[in-house]
Amino acid sequence: MFHKALGIINILFPFLSVLLFPPPLQSQNPVKVNIQGDKMEYRKELGPDLRRVIGHVVFEHEGAVVYCDSAYFYESKNSLDAYGNIHIRISDTLNMYGDKLRYDGNTRMADLIGKVKLVDKQTVLTTDHLIYDRNSKEAFYQHNAVITNKNNKLTSIKGYYFTSLKQFFFKDSVTLVNPKYVMHCDTLRYETITRVAFFKGPTKILGKETNIYCENGWYNTNTDIAQFNNNASIRNKSQVLRGDSLYYDREKGIGKAFKNVTITDSVQNIIISGQSGRYFKQRGYSLITDRVLAIMIEKTDSLFLHADTLFTTFDTAMQTNTLSAFHHAKFYRKDLQGLCDSLIYNFRDSTIALYHNPVLWSEENQLTADSIRIWMTNEMADSMLLYNTAFIISKSDTGKFNQVKGRNMTGFFRKNELDHVMVNGNAKTVYFAKEDDGSSIGINIAAASDMLITVKDKKINRIKYLNKPDATLYPEKNVSPSDLILPGFRWFGSRRPINRYEVFTW
């Protein structure tokens, strides 16, 4: 997203440097204005020192040369008013035009009025009023101007150029229009020496594929490095990146985001937030750290995931392929919760993989294994695989646990609830059998090569032992406490998140 934004800024500045005014030397004592024309008149009724010059009028003052149809020259004041077809020749390529010019040779102020136009090659500035102070070397307009260059058009209510600092300054309702982008901002400043542009106030950069918003920022046109600050956001058709500060190096393809960072993906229906982000275009990945939270929005519910770091990969079309959560990953959804050290969500095949001491909770059941993989269909859990040292535990009563253990387990869901589980290899159970009224029947301790477990009303309902079963139903009083716990038993009930906020507690 960053690299699309920078092409907008490049369009803004190629025509700015042509607006330079030459820095004429200021004399210690006022220098008289030299003026000539086809006809020069003196009129007593207009004043003793007033001369009217008509036809092919030319005047020069300390290097500045102006042409006009007629002029009134106030000799004692060393000033003049020029009228008609004003033409100020700055250089061979830079010319200024207008209807009227007021110039004071003592204050060195030039005031150009009426259909003012500044032309340099393919760049044209038009306004109704332009003032140039030769002392401060500052030119400015305060009543709207339009600057065009090829297919680009910039407008603002106020504009300034500080020739000694080599800086342009546009103020109030600044708009740049071109065939690809439209930019609106309150204030724009450009340093011609460093080639760095600064924009302040609410700024919108609207393009065909990408829209940018910020309230403060800068762009170095020489190094292709930019930073957008204060409520900054970059938006394309499917994603929105927000942050207090967004930084991008276009040449290296590296982006950084700081404080209150969020990425919203409308295609994958996911929102990722954190306090620090990194983007690596050429490597095809980005990461977010510092109080990270990913929200996977679904039709009936949302999954909330937290980890130390969230790592996403994307393709050349900027579509997210995978979301990885590294270290202290924990997630919550009303019907499914879990934790592990590392988690990978693959958007291409809708799978969730949990690694390194994973724990899942589905309704009343706790599931653990060396690794767990869940397959999703239509945003709902479809099936899962518990690989190696698989274990299912559910509470029967206080201090009593139903347990199923095996090498591998495959679970199947119906309407997002665990429906039945197939246990393959070294299956063992400890199951507290009860009557419908809850009274104890006994404890079923069994072993088999394989088992089929059905779940009803969120609890284990039936266990079918397959291949060489060895099962015994014991009266509860005849079973020692040590026989009630299968090897490898671990209960993590205190770490189960009960709401979205507890994913931040490990």
For 155-209, the pLDDT digits (tens) are 899 998 776 777 788 999 998 887 777 889 999 888 867 878 888 999 888 878 7
pLDDT one-digit tens code per residue, 295-344? 988 877 899 999 999 998 888 777 788 899 999 999 999 988 999 999 99
Average pLDDT over residues 475-486: 90
Confidence (pLDDT) at 16: 42
Confidence (pLDDT) at 438: 76
Whether residue 470 contacts residue 450, with contact meaning beta carbons closer than 8 Å, is answered with no
Distance CA(298)–CA(8), nearest Å, equals 35
Residue 389 has pLDDT above 60, yes or no: yes
Average pLDDT over residues 433-450: 87
Distance CA(315)–CA(424), nearest Å, equals 38
Q: Which residue has the higher pLDDT, 461 or 361?
A: 361
**Containing H/E element for 118?**
strand 109-120
Q: Which residue has the higher pLDDT, 47 or 228?
A: 228
pTM: 0.76
The size of the chain, in residues, is: 506
Q: What are phi and psi of 482, to 5 degrees?
A: -70, -25
Residue 92 has pLDDT above 70, yes or no: yes
Average pLDDT over residues 248-267: 87
Confidence (pLDDT) at 28: 55
Residue 86 has pLDDT above 70, yes or no: yes
Average pLDDT over residues 431-451: 87
The strand pair at 64-74 and 50-61 is best described as antiparallel
pLDDT one-digit tens code per residue, 97-126? 999 999 999 998 989 999 998 777 777 888
Confidence of residue 477 (pLDDT cuts 50, 70, 90): confident
Average pLDDT over residues 415-431: 90
C-alpha distances in angstroms, 163 versus 20, 133, 192, 326?
A: 7, 10, 10, 54
Q: Name which of 131-135, 179-183, 186-190, 285-289 the model is least confident about.
A: 179-183
Q: Which residues pair with 488 in a beta bridge?
A: none
Q: Report the mean per-residue pLDDT for the chain.
A: 86
